[in-house]
Amino acid sequence: MPETLLEIKGLKTHIHASEGIVKAVDGIDFKVDTGEIVGIIGESGCGKSMTALSILRLLPSQAKIAGEILYQGNDLLKYDPSQMREIRGKGISMIFQDPTTSLNPVFTVGNQICEAITLHQKISQRAAVEKAIEILRLCGLPSPEEQFKRYPHQLSGGMNQRVMIAMALVTHPELLIADEPTTALDVTIQAQILDLIQNLQAKLNMSVLLITHDLSIISTITRRVIIMYAGKIVEYAQTDSLFASPLHPYTKGLINSIPNIESTEKRLNTIPGVVPNPMNLPCGCRFHPRCPEATLRCFDAEPEIRLCGEGHGVRCFGVRQPVSSYD
Ligand X SMILES: Nc1ncnc2c1ncn2[C@@H]1O[C@H](COP(=O)(O)OP(=O)(O)OP(=O)(O)O)[C@@H](O)[C@H]1O
List residues binding ligand X (CB under 6 A): 15, 17, 22, 24, 42, 44-50, 60, 97, 213, 278
| Shorter beta-carbon distance to ligand X: residue 133 or 225 | 225
Q: Report in angstroms how near the CB of residue 255 gets to ligand X at its nearest.
A: 18
* Closest chain position to Mg ion (CB): 49
* Backbone angles phi and psi of 36, in degrees to 5: -105, 145
51 binds Mg ion (CB under 5 A): no
Interface residue with Mg ion, options 22, 38, 46, 49 (CB under 5 A): 49
212 binds Mg ion (CB under 5 A): no
89 binds, among Mg ion, ligand X, none (CB under 5 to 8 A by kind): none
Q: Report in angstroms how near the CB of residue 216 gets to ligand X at its nearest.
A: 16
HSE-CB of 138 using CA atoms within 13 angstroms: 21
| Shorter beta-carbon distance to Mg ion: residue 48 or 131 | 48
| Shorter beta-carbon distance to ligand X: residue 27 or 35 | 27
Q: Report in angstroms how near the CB of residue 285 gets to Mg ion at its nearest.
A: 23
Binding-residue pattern over the window 85 to 124 for Mg ion, x denoting contact by CB under 5 A = ------------x---------------------------
14 vs 119: CA distance, rounded Å? 31
- Spatial CA neighbour of 23 closest among 224, 306, 302, 270: 302
222 binds Mg ion (CB under 5 A): no
For 65, the enclosing helix (H) or strand (E) is strand 63-71
For 112, the enclosing helix (H) or strand (E) is helix 109-120
Of the listed pieces 40-48, 121-129, 170-178, 245-253, which binds Mg ion according to CB under 5 A?
A: 40-48
DSSP-based three-state secondary structure for 222: coil
50 binds, among Mg ion, ligand X, none (CB under 5 to 8 A by kind): ligand X
Q: Report in angstroms how near the CB of residue 231 gets to ligand X at its nearest.
A: 7
CB 214 within 8 A of CB 39: no
Q: Are strands 37-41 and 20-33 parallel, antiparallel or unpaired?
A: unpaired
Q: Report in angstroms how near the CB of residue 224 gets to Mg ion at its nearest.
A: 20
| Shorter beta-carbon distance to Mg ion: residue 97 or 171 | 97
Q: Report in angstroms how near the CB of residue 282 gets to ligand X at its nearest.
A: 14
Number of Cβ atoms within 10 Å of the Cβ of 323 = 11
Number of residues assigned to the chain: 327
241 vs 268: CA distance, rounded Å? 24
| Shorter beta-carbon distance to ligand X: residue 172 or 213 | 213
Q: Binding-site residue total for Mg ion (CB under 5 A)?
A: 3
95 vs 164: CA distance, rounded Å? 6
248 vs 41: CA distance, rounded Å? 13
164 vs 154: CA distance, rounded Å? 15
Of the listed pieces 42-50, 88-96, 234-242, 257-265, which binds Mg ion according to CB under 5 A?
A: 42-50
118 Cβ neighbours under 8 A, 6+ residues apart: 125, 128
CB 91 within 8 A of CB 71: yes
Q: Report in angstroms how near the CB of residue 140 gets to ligand X at its nearest.
A: 25
278 binds, among Mg ion, ligand X, none (CB under 5 to 8 A by kind): ligand X
Q: Report in angstroms how near the CB of residue 97 gets to Mg ion at its nearest.
A: 5
| 284 φ/ψ sector (left φ>0, alpha ψ -120 to 50, else beta) | left
